[in-house]
Amino acid sequence: MSRKLSLFALALLPAAALADGHTTSLGLSYGPRPAALVDKLPEGALKDKLMSCSTQVPTQTAFSIGHRGAPLMFPEHTVQSNVAAARMGAGVLECDVTFTKDHELVCRHAQNDLHTTTNILVSDLASTCVTPFASAQGETAATAECRTSELTLEEFNTLTPKMDSADTAALTAEAYQGGVAPWRTQLYTDKATLMTHAESIELFKSLGAKFTPELKSASVEMPHDGFSQADYAQKLVDEYVAAGVPATDVFPQSFNVEDVYYWIDNAPEFGAQAVYLVEWTEGFDEQNAETWLQDFDALKERGVNYISASLNMLMTNQDGKIAASDYAKAAKAADITLIAWTLERSGPLASGGGWYFQSVGDIIKDDSDYLVALDVLAQDVGVAGVFSDWPATVTYYANCMGL
């Protein structure tokens, strides 16, 4: 176990070492949020069913996937964020994978997000940013861009993580550190710990969870100093092999279908569970196949078994109710297993749910629709799992429904 994780994770290992599917090994807890969402549901069968589970004991479930951990309240891709997600019963945890200047793999949502997810702009490493901080000027927003590919791993490890945010009206780099969305919090940012990909494997193993690493697109031209895209994709799976993790516990993801094909062709034991990520794009209509970019039969024939799609692609407005989209039905008809992302990332839903709910935004009423959408995804779409920024909600639902 690395020195960096030892003090925090070792405290969990005695409990995790006993984990064998029994549910209290990590002191699992739903907290108040799932019950609060159930309380908001209108009277009916869904509310009755979910209320009937109010005294159930939480169990870990692979249906519940921690999206960057639990970033509704914890800095994403940190030890603390993922421990929180595991304690909420998330049975699958995510490390978005990018690389440093010396081609070490680390957990970051993007190679160029350090200016919003760490303190780099107010550190001694600010000079490494490809776009230095520039203050807001009139109607022009403050800007910066800082990349992991400009730092060695040793330098990366000196950074302090923070909630993903930026105050684009800032006049100073210090003020730029703000801008946290009002539905998030900074209560749990103190002493949060960054992770390498290898450290995430070590931690997730100790928490009894499975793995869904996402190979992120590089912000630099590839190959990068001799490090090719194939090298990058191979190194991701090699770190699981080195850690002794069975391929059946790993669901590698990428928005680049060529990465998925690489794993299918060159690491088939991992490729069998490789996940092709897709998202709503301009002109997409979840009910009109002519606007879809995916040929499900061709993907299946090529060996793609999993697609993870944004929520808006899988749901539609059918007679004023949330329902499974034609896109989702067509994928299932081709024997593609679907995964959905990302629940509870939109903040309060009273204003329609924003990007993630745009296909049903005109019928979204309040936060209880998180549960309505989840029920449709599970029962009508038939997804195998749901990413969430607060996994307790998905865990509660999955436990109650026996998923």
**pLDDT tens-place string over residues 189-202:** 999 999 999 999 99
Is the domain of 159 the same as that of 90?
no
Is the domain of 165 the same as that of 286?
no
**Angle at which helices 229-242 and 197-206 cross, to 10°:** 30
Based on the structure, what is the number of domains in the chain? 2
Is the domain of 59 the same as that of 124?
no
Is the domain of 116 the same as that of 33?
no
CB 101 within 8 A of CB 149: yes
What pTM was computed for the model?
0.94
Is the domain of 285 the same as that of 377?
yes
- pLDDT-derived band of residue 25, with 50, 70 and 90 as boundaries? low
Q: Determine, yes or no, domain membership for 13.
A: yes
Q: Determine, yes or no, domain membership for 102.
A: no
Domain span at residue 139 reads 110-176
Q: Is residue 82 over pLDDT 90? A: yes
For 272-283, the pLDDT digits (tens) are: 999 999 999 999
Q: What secondary structure letter does DSSP report for 240? A: H
Q: Is residue 284 over pLDDT 80? A: yes
Mean pLDDT (whole number) for 236-243 = 98
Q: Determine, yes or no, domain membership for 364.
A: yes
Phi-psi domain of 77 (left: phi exceeds 0; alpha: psi -120 through 50; beta: other): left
Is the domain of 220 the same as that of 272?
yes
Is the domain of 128 the same as that of 216?
no
Q: Among 176, 208, 232, which residue terminates a domain? A: 176
Q: Determine, yes or no, domain membership for 268.
A: yes
Is the domain of 28 the same as that of 161?
no
- Which amino acid, 210? K
Is the domain of 47 the same as that of 129?
no
Is the domain of 302 the same as that of 201?
yes
Q: Determine, yes or no, domain membership for 101.
A: no
Q: Give the pLDDT confidence score for residue 26 in this predicted structure.
A: 80
CATH code of 201's domain: 3.20.20.190
Q: Determine, yes or no, domain membership for 123.
A: yes
Q: Determine, yes or no, domain membership for 149.
A: yes
Q: Determine, yes or no, domain membership for 274.
A: yes
Of 75, 78, 96, 105, give the one whose Cα is nearest residue 177. Answer: 75
Is the domain of 137 the same as that of 270?
no
CB 280 within 8 A of CB 255: no
* CA atoms 286, 287, 289, 291: torsion sign: negative
Q: Among 143, 176, 209, which residue terminates a domain? A: 176
For 128-180, the pLDDT digits (tens) are: 999 999 999 999 999 999 999 999 999 999 999 999 999 999 999 999 999 99
Q: Find all residues with CB under 8 Å of 370, minimum gap 6, and list them.
A: 37, 343, 344, 349, 393
Q: Is residue 62 over pLDDT 60? A: yes
Q: Is residue 300 over pLDDT 50? A: yes
Scan for tokens 């004991």, then name that residue: 57
Is the domain of 170 the same as that of 81?
no
Q: How far apart are CA 198 and CA 240, in angstroms?
A: 8
